[in-house]
Amino acid sequence: MLIAQAAVMANGVIDTLMAGRLSSADLAAVGIGASIYITIIMALMGVLLALTPVVAHHYGAGRHAEIGADVRQCAWLALLLSLLAFAALKNPDPLLAFSRLTPEVEIKVRAYLEGSAWAVPGVMFFRVFYGFTNGIGRPRPVMSFNLLGLALKAPLNWVFMYGHFGFPAMGGAGCGWSSAVIMWTVATLSWLWCRRDADYAPYGVFARFEWPHLATQREFLVLGLPMGATFLVDVTAFTFMALFIARLGPEISAAHQIAANVAVFVFMVPLALGTATGVVVGQALGAGDGRRARHAGLLGLAVGCGAAAITGAAIGFAAGPLARTYTSDPQVAAAAAALLSIVAVYHIADAVQAVMAQVLRGYKRATVPMVIYAVALWGVGLGGGYLLGLTDSFGPPRGAAGFWIAAVASLTIAGAGVLAYFLRISAQIIPAPATTTA
């Protein structure tokens, strides 16, 4: 799972590095466009995350036939969500209105989103495969397909960004079109693999055709909508942070994109660990072993915090050289290095909430975490960032650094909240020790 997540995050790194070699406008456009894309995709794709705990519970209880039926139903949900995401990416005006972009950057952002929109169906249907195969404890195929996509990323970027083999030179927008080609390829190959691999046969995913079942769809939505809403809160806080920072100019926006890219890339470790822990938790609960589920959650948290402390220290010490690998512009590099010093602390708080959020999904608990994230990330993170960064409410405006400082505070509050909730609900389902009576 870690390698699979690293491959996904590395795609963003490649886009950032290659766009940064074009111009600060292209780098800013890719950063802003990616923020809008991720906001829409993650909010809708988050609904599909309900499949992983559902499959894990079935697997732990030995209900293999029910896994195939739920996968088929989730595919219908993926189709509906693809249509919604495609329409939203084709009409980004409400989100672009917040950023007050220069005409040059706005044209590039729109071109990037035009290509990214065509990646949506592949993303959604691959997410169904992802939830299915991870839920049964087989993450290696996801790793393989993500590595394939990573291998294709730089060559396809080169083709579309610089205009080779008859394609026009699209600049930063070429990153979006390369993603579309990659996701269609990966999604098609993953389901061909599922159909032909004997290890997937017991689940009967392709055993028969089924129209959508309203009762099953309702169950997915009851669990998936709060998950999607949580992602919406998380991603929109990050996206609007980028859009507000875009008001400070292309150089500061580019520096923020570098810091955000590093933060997202190192986030792969706690995210992968949390995903794996959530699967183990779900399988244990499906087997009726609440004690093992709680132990797995606590162990995942401990390992995640230890890894985050090491990673955060490395970012803090290497902030300057790390920033200079992304850009040759000394002004952008200096601004990015200052932000990376805050990212070092941000990552530790991010790790706690990432692991605990995935563990709670293994418990099929999503509503309370959604409320915690809304209050912390929107109220403290985005609201506090606006006040610290763009107003003089707490002294001189701190610019991009003000947003990152508020983000650290918001994730600390969110992490403490979801951890407390996990400790309470996990203790409630552990059987009490047996007693004897005279």
- Interval 391-418 mean pLDDT: 87
Joined tokens for residue 355: 């692991």
Closest CA to 159 of 149, 169, 151: 169
437 in any annotated domain: no
Quote the DSSP letter at residue 212: P
Q: How much is the pLDDT for 435?
A: 44
Residues 6+ apart with CB under 8 A from 11: 149, 150, 153, 179, 182
Percentage of the residues of the chain whose pLDDT score is greater than 90: 29
366 in any annotated domain: yes
Amino acid in position 183: M
Q: What is the C-alpha separation between 417 and 369, in angstroms, rounded?
A: 8
How many other C-beta atoms lie within 10 A of the C-beta of residue 371? 15
59 in any annotated domain: yes
Q: What is the C-alpha separation between 280 and 141, in angstroms, rounded?
A: 18
> Residue 250 — very low, low, confident or very high, per pLDDT cuts 50/70/90?
confident
Is the pLDDT assigned to residue 55 strictly greater than 70?
yes
Specify which residues 395 forms β-bridges with.
393
Helices (H), 213-249: 214-245
Q: What is the mean pLDDT of the chain?
A: 86
Specify which residues 103 forms β-bridges with.
none
Q: What is the pLDDT of residues 331-357, one digit of tens each?
A: 888 888 888 999 999 999 999 999 999
Q: How much is the pLDDT for 438?
A: 40
The mean-pLDDT minimum among 100-104, 232-236, 381-385, 405-409 falls in 100-104
CB crowding 197-208: b at 16 or more within 10 Å, else e: eeebeebbbeee
149 in any annotated domain: yes
438 in any annotated domain: no
145 in any annotated domain: yes
CA distances from 190 to 118, 133, 155, 195, 311 (A): 18, 10, 21, 9, 32
> Residue 436 — very low, low, confident or very high, per pLDDT cuts 50/70/90?
very low
Q: State how many domains the chain has.
A: 1
Specify which residues 393 forms β-bridges with.
395
433 in any annotated domain: no
Q: Which domain holds residue 281?
A: 2-428
Q: How much is the pLDDT for 419?
A: 94
Q: How much is the pLDDT for 409?
A: 93
- Interval 161-167 mean pLDDT: 80
Q: How much is the pLDDT for 298?
A: 93
User: 93 near 232, Cβ under 8 Å?
Assistant: no
Q: What is the C-alpha separation between 322 and 313, in angstroms, rounded?
A: 13
Q: What is the pLDDT of residues 230-242, one digit of tens each?
A: 878 887 787 788 8
435 in any annotated domain: no
pTM of the model: 0.77
